[in-house]
Amino acid sequence: MKVRRLLYWSVTAVLMIAIFLFSAKTGNESSKMSIGYAKELAKLLGRIGIFDVSTPALLMMHAESVHTFVRKMAHFTEYAVLGFFSYQAITCDLPNSKKSVITAQILCTSYAITDEIHQIFVPGREGKVFDVGIDSFGALTGIILAHFLFQYIEYHKESM
């Protein structure tokens, strides 16, 4: 149990540091990184016939059209992973699953708020209430996934 606790709290801390470092990137640095992922998504959508990416100009046009989606999915995903691991960490200290879900959600939403406040002080970035909502929903998704996975594992341990 001590190893499990240390592992989950360590992963949670590393994820929080990673989120902080992503948020510390200037607006230009962050945009360059996400437009790169948006180009890859546009290429993928081009391969399956949704976009025409036959020229660099068309590729860039479609990349820009999915850029916001990529940025918001990054918010959702990083907080889903944070929610998953923070729930696992909290259950080591708080075995009541309902309280663990609520505590993990409060932790992740609070961190999302501080993350957006942090971005106000980064050149070219801004804090957005909408992003806190996306982050919180991502965290809730990860928490629920972890909760049901945990319940499934516990159930099957008992039935063996």
Model confidence at 141: pLDDT above 70 = yes
Model confidence at 128: pLDDT above 90 = yes
Model confidence at 74: pLDDT above 80 = yes
Render pLDDT for 97-120 as a digit per residue (tens, 0 to 9): 899 999 999 999 999 999 999 999
Helix (H, G, I), strand (E, B) or coil at 10: helix
What six digits make up the tokens of 30?
Answer: 């962050």
What six digits make up the tokens of 91?
Answer: 């259950």
Rounded (5°) CA angle 96-4-21 = 95
Whether pTM exceeds 0.95: no
d(CA 87, CA 146): 7
d(CA 149, CA 160): 17
Model confidence at 61: pLDDT above 90 = yes
What six digits make up the tokens of 81?
Answer: 């992973």
Model confidence at 160: pLDDT above 70 = no
